[in-house]
Structure 1
Amino acid sequence: MIGKLLNATIAAAAVLAMSQDAEAQSKKYVFALVPKNMNNPFFDQARDGCKKAERELKGAVECLYIGPGEHGGGEEQVQVVNDLIAKKVDGIAVSPSNAAAMGKALEGAKAAGIPVLTWDSDLLEKDKALRIAYVGTHNYEIGVNLAKLAQKIKPKGGTICIQSGGAAAANHNERMQGIRDTLAGAKSAQAPGTRLTGQNGWSEVAGCPLYTNDDFPLSVQQMEDILGKFPKLDAFIPTGGFPQFIPQAYKRVAEKYKARIKDGSLALVVADTLPVQMDLLKAGLSKGQVGQRPAEMGYRTMLFLKDIKDGKPAPKDPTYTGLDVCTPETAGTCIGK
């Protein structure tokens, strides 16, 4: 009798375990992909990569693409993340607008046991333990490559204006540091690097760097104003595609300087290589583009979060998604597949 009861207990336990395994396998994880803002073609590509992962995983995950409508200072993005933590989503992948503020918000995710990845932009060094890994561009290197393009065009240096996304955005500060360090020929202590005041012949003009806060009309106006104020400016380098993301407005300004772009008297090189930007490069309205792979960022963060939830090894920290360096001569072949 005891043997029969024992066997029945073991069998029941086995059925329960199998049921729990089946439930775990059938559970749909909800993973949030949080951009800096949702009014941005760069982040649209990250969303598309996220949705591609959702399709390929055939119902195992839901890609919840959610973020602020506009960039701003990061407060709205922090509120979005706080709401996601309160809703107990299964994982969060975020591109922080304000690295310091996002670090404070993600303390709540860590306390709630919600795995976090950063992508496109990372946290401050002191807060990196709050996320498992960074997935995206080596931001310092994007600045290095922008600077190298400018150096080829203007080997003796000259006056320069750098246009950035936001003063508190870690990724843009790292890119600015890469530009400044490469042009100066010396490594600075920390982002955003040491202002150029004649190093290797390069000097930043008064009023720069410019900060757009991802306000694209503002970025075009800034570009028009600075080129008007300094008609012999040697280099204009946006650390993101801001002015080019509204191509008609950008064309209106850049076409005034097309001859200078062509003859190399103005080194106009821009971050990102979205299709509309490549069209502008081919039209002679920039002299170089250094691109990221946002679709891959969105795609890989979803796969990585699922692996983490399934108990598989975490991704390498950092996981870099590569760069594409494009010039008018290589525009047809420079984008990585």
Structure 2
Amino acid sequence: MKIRNGRISALAALALAASMALTACGSDSEGGDSGDGGGGDVAITMLPKNLGNPYFDTSTAGAEKAADEFGGSIDEVGPDAASPDAQVPFINTAAQQGVDALIVSANDPEALCDALDEASSAGTKIVTFDSDTNPECRDLYINQATSEGIAKAQVDLIAEQIGDEGEIAILSAAANATNQNAWIEMMEKELADNHPNIELVDTVYGDDDDQTSFDKTAALLQSHPNLKGIISPTTVGIAAAARYLSTSEYKGKVALTGLGTPNQMRDYVKDGTVTAFALWNPGDLGYLAAYAAQALVDGDISGEEGDTFEAGDLGEFTVGADGVVLLGDPFVFDKSNIDDFDF
């Protein structure tokens, strides 16, 4: 079994389609029609929001581990910048190649649907992970945790760190990112219902770009001199914000939490810039997404509510309403445990 992990830029997408058209699994050799319970290796294309993002590097590594276990191949492709339009050529290429399954973290809930529908019509199984499309545009969504659970974990952390009162702001990713907007909506509700003394004064967008997120952090602190805390529900954003805070006058005065990876945040936790933050294991998320894709391709499940499948070391999972499979609850990282993790 060969693992292919080619990181392909947006500029190369059309060239890829011309040079590799119809050479992947799904041609006349092995594996095209996969409803027969599996015939040959499962060929999967993995399309994160953007390449060069440590979060997605980890999720792809998890998918590769799963593919190695069940006998499949992973091709990681994607744009350099997180935008819906930039993902479309890669979806089209996957459909033209006839891959068995496409695993996508969507940059927009609707903008990808036409391309995904065409891929589905060509026989490709569609699995979203991390950030969903509209349910009718895919077969399954692998959800890292419920929006309510993620929102509550982040609000609870910031509330604890600022004494449950004062001004806070949110530093998000792209303004149209499905998962970010769902979490922000739930955070607003959680604040209104259970934290009346915390005021959300601003929400800004760093577009999952390090420098933009760094600059937005600086602007937030200048615009809101009484700011006591920042929530950044994006791994790029929280690391950029921590980098700014760590060398500023606000270190130790303005709390920062959100969603990050231990390897990104370790130094900032140890130097006191950040007390605690949350995340699931993105490696597990990619691992689960790959096993879900295999189960669809092999015909073990159809994506209907109540379907069950085995996901290697993670055990058995059940498909919920609207084709959603839930990984689990977010985990809180702090100084006491961060060295126990490496991703």
The aligned length equals 289
Q: Are 1:167 and 2:167 matched, yes or no?
A: no
Taking a change above 3 Å as real, the CA distance of residues 234 and 24 of structure 1, as seen in their structure-2 partners, is: closer
Partners of 1:87 and 1:223 lie apart in 2 by: 42
Q: Are 1:320 and 2:309 matched, yes or no?
A: no
Partners of 1:244 and 1:150 lie apart in 2 by: 13
- How much does 1:45 deviate? 0.1
CA shift digits 1:205-241 (9 cap, x unpaired): 3xx3111111111101111221133232022111112
Mapping for residues 1-337 of structure 1, pairs under 5 Å: 27-57=40-70, 60-71=71-82, 73-123=83-133, 127-140=134-147, 141-185=149-193, 200-205=196-201, 208-245=202-239, 250-256=242-248, 257-260=250-253, 266-313=254-301, 314=303, 316-317=319-320, 318-322=324-328, 323-332=330-339
Structure 2: any 5+ residue segments left out of the alignment? 1-32, 304-308, 310-318
* SS class of match (2:227): coil
Structure 1: any 5+ residue segments left out of the alignment? 1-19, 187-198, 261-265
Partners of 1:178 and 1:147 lie apart in 2 by: 10
For 2:215, the aligned partner's letter is Q
Taking a change above 3 Å as real, the CA distance of residues 269 and 77 of structure 1, as seen in their structure-2 partners, is: same
Percent identical: 24
- Name the structure 2 match of 1:195: none
- How much does 1:325 deviate? 1.4
- Name the structure 1 match of 2:5: none
Partners of 2:266 and 2:342 lie apart in 1 by: 13
Partners of 1:295 and 1:158 lie apart in 2 by: 35
* SS class of match (1:259): coil
Taking a change above 3 Å as real, the CA distance of residues 283 and 272 of structure 1, as seen in their structure-2 partners, is: same
- How much does 1:332 deviate? 5.0
Contact 1:163 1:237 in 2 (8 A): yes
- Structure 1 or 2: more helix by fraction: 1
Taking a change above 3 Å as real, the CA distance of residues 144 and 336 of structure 1, as seen in their structure-2 partners, is: farther
Partners of 1:29 and 1:48 lie apart in 2 by: 17
CA shift digits 1:150-209 (9 cap, x unpaired): 1222344221111111121110011112221111117xxxxxxxxxxxx7123333xx31
For 1:238, the aligned partner's letter is S
Contact 2:214 2:244 in 1 (8 A): no
Partners of 2:331 and 2:185 lie apart in 1 by: 19
Taking a change above 3 Å as real, the CA distance of residues 138 and 232 of structure 1, as seen in their structure-2 partners, is: same
- How much does 1:137 deviate? 1.4
